[in-house]
Copies of this chain bind each other. A is one copy, B any other.
């Protein structure tokens, strides 16, 4: 593995475990046994490391949202989609944990994050709409029904891992992910076709992230 990759790797681990601020250049370099000059050869500055990590997150995230939910959506794939998305959030938990601070310190990152978020919200709305079309779900009331459901899904999704960490859960287990998926489910539950819901929940309980 190249030094560049080792830097990214360690930065991710460190940030995930102790927060985004914990991975300072000095620490990364010394833990890796390389010089600070070396680190700064590969990355212009600290922000760039975060930006590159965000890029990989973004690529993976878009893939999850697009690949896994082509119509029509069967319940098992729907459940797997939730679990996959939480797995991703877990692997990049540093990002969600310190999001506000990261975006404040890096205007470019902020712009890119916001674009991704807008896209995700539209996509979640599209997926919900698809479920309605599939006949797996009744349409939420109100002009903005679907949009609101998508937004609540997003809010819970992006904060579930953070909530676990805040609550003092140090080791997070598959069951915790499943609990998060279940919370997401409960946003849609009142609108879901009972057979679809039952089947999806069973898939969730089986707990297979693919």
- Residues of A that sit less than 8 Å from B by CB: 18-19, 21, 97-101, 103-104, 110, 113-114, 117, 140-141, 148-149, 151-152, 155-156, 158-160, 162-163, 165-168, 182-183, 186-187, 189-191
Contacts and interface: CB of A to CB of B under 8 A. Distances in A.
Contact of A141 (B110, B183, B189): B189
A117 B158 CA distance: 19
Nearest to A104: B19
Contact of A186 (B99, B110, B148, B168): B148
Contacts of A167: 114, 117
Contacts of A187: 152, 187
A99 B166 contact: yes
B99 A148 contact: no
Contacts of A148: 182-183, 186
23 contacts: A19-B100, A19-B101, A21-B21, A97-B101, A98-B100, A98-B101, A101-B101, A113-B166, A114-B167, A114-B168, A117-B167, A140-B190, A141-B189, A148-B183, A152-B183, A152-B186, A155-B155, A155-B159, A155-B183, A156-B156, A158-B159, A159-B159, A190-B191
Contacts of A101: 19, 21, 97-98, 101
A152 B185 CA distance: 11
A165 B97 contact: no
Given A19-B101, A98-B98, 19 more contacts: A18-B104, A98-B100, A99-B162, A100-B162, A100-B165, A103-B166, A114-B167, A117-B166, A117-B167, A140-B190, A141-B189, A148-B182, A149-B186, A152-B152, A152-B156, A152-B183, A158-B159, A187-B187, A190-B191
A17 to B, nearest CB: 10
A111 to B, nearest CB: 9
A52 to B, nearest CB: 20
